[in-house]
Amino acid sequence: MTETVTADTRDTRQRILDAAEGVFMACGYDGASMRQIAGDAGVNLAAGHYHFGSKEALFQAVLNRRLHVLNQERLRVLDELEAKAAGAPLKPSQILDAFFGTLLRMAITHGPRGQTFLRLIGRTLTEPSEFIRTALSKEFADVLERYKAALFRALPEVPKEEIVWRFHFMLGATSYAIAGIDTLRLITDWQTGATDDDLERLAPRLMSFLLGGLRAPLPAAPAAPQPRGNVRNRRKKP
């Protein structure tokens, strides 16, 4: 907490970040406009550009502000688990809880803002813009590497390639569940009875599902498509 910035400045930046978080969450990156963000934040349009330089940079700032602490926490929890295990492989459920549970817990403990960010994360992982992919890739590199390694050790009988795919699927189920916590209900037209504390009810259900998927029996043939009519599994590799 140096005093390179005045208290007033910090407030402005913070207000812009908070407003941007909400607008990006509600409208997506393309759908959001700097004007609306500035309006919601109660600041001038130019303030956003002054403090962050561009819309892209603002988006990255919004993302990193919470994503970084989330991923640091994920690393810390994993460190703790591995220290306690003293060299023994962790249980898959421990690893999943450290990765996905930490995410959900953070959203709960951070109140409504945390939920907003959680949904922003869910949406963002599906946005394919180049710069977003770059930003996420950088931010996630260490964490994914560590967790990937932990899963390899935890499931030595499962081919690594399969674990990677399943991590992929788990990420998808999670971001989708999070992003659509109030959206998908309309698509599917199902009343899940959820009202306000969706997150606390979501967590255990999601974790069970993920664990079941991760530990599922391997697909019939290791790398061959299902026995159907027109398979084309000729590889081009020599």
Residues in contact with DNA by CB under 7 A are: 5-6, 8-9, 12, 32-36, 43-47, 49-51, 53-56
113: contact with a copy of itself by CB under 8 A: no
- Cβ proximity to a copy of itself: between 3 and 189 the closer is 189
What is the smallest separation between the CB atom of 231 and a copy of itself, expressed in angstroms? 7
> Phi-psi bin for 110: left (phi > 0), alpha (psi -120 to 50), beta?
alpha
DSSP 204-220: HHHHHHHHHHHTSPPPS
126: contact with a copy of itself by CB under 8 A: yes
- Cβ proximity to a copy of itself: between 89 and 209 the closer is 209
140 Cβ neighbours under 8 A, 6+ residues apart: 71
- Cβ proximity to DNA: between 31 and 225 the closer is 31
Q: What separation in angstroms does the CA of 45 have from each of 26, 33, 40, 120, 196?
A: 19, 10, 11, 22, 34
Residue of 39, 140, 153, 158 that binds a copy of itself (CB under 8 A): 140
Map 131-198 to HEC letters: HHHHHHHHHHHHHHHHHHHHHHHHCCCCCHHHHHHHHHHHHHHHHHHHHCCCCHHHHHCCCCCCCCCH
Residue of 9, 14, 54, 188 that binds a copy of itself (CB under 8 A): 188
- Cβ proximity to DNA: between 43 and 203 the closer is 43
Residue of 57, 61, 158, 171 that binds a copy of itself (CB under 8 A): 171
What is the smallest separation between the CB atom of 118 and DNA, expressed in angstroms? 23
User: Contact 201/194 with Cβ under 8 angstroms?
Assistant: yes
Interface pattern 92-111 for a copy of itself (x via CB under 8 A): -----x---x---x--xx--
- Cβ proximity to DNA: between 53 and 159 the closer is 53
- Cβ proximity to DNA: between 16 and 104 the closer is 16
Size of the site for a copy of itself (CB under 8 A): 87
Rounded Cα distance, 78 and 90, in Å: 10
56 touches, from a copy of itself, DNA, none (C-beta below 5 to 8 Å by class):
DNA
Task: Return the structure tokens found at 69.
Answer: 């602490």
Q: How many CB atoms lie within 10 A of CB 226?
A: 8
233 touches, from a copy of itself, DNA, none (C-beta below 5 to 8 Å by class):
a copy of itself
